[in-house]
Amino acid sequence: MSDDAPSRLHHPDPDPELAVATGQDAAVEAPPPPPPAHDPGGSECRFCEMTRQHQPQCARRLPKRIILVRHGESQGNLDMSAYTTTPDYRIPLTALGAEQARAAGQRIRDVVAGSGNWKVYFYVSPYARTRATLREIGRAFPRDRVIGAREECRVREQDFGNFQVEERMRAVKETRQRFGRFFFRFPEGESAADVFDRVASTIIRSEPSRFSPSSPSSLLLPTPLFIDTPINEPMRLRRLP
């Protein structure tokens, strides 16, 4: 993980000592109090601030946790030359990758099932390997525990270009090391900063109406990229045990 990327989603804890003097002994009227601090339990949450929608109730509708899941082993992980003949979005899981995804589903269910009234909602990219990962993960969850699932193109893998010629990609990645991994943009593709922007906006703008205040909910994103990029650190994420 890297500390290079700026933190965009960190929500500071409210200051319990924050107060305004009343000025009871003053001859003039005390100045108006400053606007209230952003309080995740009541006033205005980060979602409201970013979308300019002042809906105090939405802070109580955000999911309890967001879980990012890397896809299982893919054919491209075994053989990089696969990217020279197969479009990135069509690269499939291997048999081992499917087993890994099923095991991940069981582990995730163990994590989120601590509450008796828990539910989950899935976001998945349109890539073949992430869709296959979600199918295997989903086997661990009863239908009545799944709020829904949505295919979302903005949480897809970083775009490294079109068909990837091995010799050219080696040279490009050497240049990336000199330039800086986060801001280097691949020819015909994206930088990690580009991915940060589109993914962060997706998570921030996840509709709070999907989540019930009475049911602790988890938002799961089976996606290839996050575990290996600086997006990890700004979102204050941790690995599951």
Q: Which of 44, 71, 73, 136 is catalytic?
A: 71
Maximum distance among all Cα pairs of the chain, rounded to whole angstroms: 81
Q: Which of 44, 136, 157, 190 is catalytic?
A: 157
Amino acid at position 73, single letter: E
Sheet with 119-124, strands from edge to edge, namely 65-69, 217-222, 119-124, 146-151
Between 95-112 and 128-138, two packed helices, what is the crossing angle to 10 degrees? 50
- Residue 6's SS3 state is coil
Amino acid at position 56, single letter: P
Give the Cα separation of 122 and 152 in Å (integer): 10
Give the Cα separation of 230 and 181 in Å (integer): 9
Query: What φ, ψ does residue 222 adopt, rounded to 5°?
Result: -70, 105
Q: Which residue has the tokens 């205040």?
A: 213
Radius of gyration of the chain (CA): 22
> Is position 157 annotated as part of the catalytic site?
yes
> Is position 174 annotated as part of the catalytic site?
no
Q: Which residues participate in catalysis according to the annotation? A: 71, 157
